[in-house]
Amino acid sequence: MHDVPARPAAERPPFATTGGADGFGGRLEFWLPRRRDSVREARRRLRDLMAVCEPWDARTAGHFTGDGALVLSELATNAVVHARCRGGRVQFRLRYGTPGLLLEVSDPDGGCGPGEVPRIAEEFPEGGRGLEIVGALAAAWGWLPQAAGGGAGKTVWALIAPPGAAGPAEG
């Protein structure tokens, strides 16, 4: 069994303020249906955003596109596959700037946050390593027990730091 890195339940994303004073100059926000193909669409939108980002050179944009797409895939997959409610939409917020790339995924499931659900140990599990990947690639990550905008649900976030700026999150 693989343990999910522990994070405080109500940990707020770093630099989570409004008005651009937080160092994040760009933002893309969108909603997608809670379907598996939405994960691919979210990655496509991230790649498109990184292709037109002004603040970074090609190396940094490539870093955010690669690591960011993998982390976004894991967060989005958890929202569309593992959230207990059916139907509905998933909200995505991609913010970028000096601190890096902040990915936020909100789903309508107000149940447990990452790492709170007991897991059954298997010798060769097919899944269950997504948050380990997030922890390995993100400078920080966590979750909020309420979806952004005050609705029911939860928001899971991850910060991808610029290359060489910070190590991965500690679990």
Give domain limits for the chain.
Answer: 24-160
The runs of H, that is alpha helices, within the chain are: 37-52, 58-77, 130-137
Residue 139 is predicted with a pLDDT of 94
Q: How many CA atoms lie within 13 A of 5 on its CB side?
A: 19
Name the β-bridge partners of 26.
96
pTM here is 0.75
Please give the angle made by the CA atoms of 70, 170 and 167, to the nearest 5 degrees: 65
Overall average pLDDT of the 156-160 stretch: 94
pLDDT of 38 above 80: yes
Q: Over 90: is that where the pLDDT of 148 sits?
A: no
CATH of domain 24-160: 3.30.565.10
Identify the CA nearest to 107 among candidates 38, 47, 14: 38
pLDDT at 12 over 50: no
Contact by Cβ (8 Å): 7, 143: yes
> Which carries the bigger pLDDT value, residue 147 or residue 127?
127
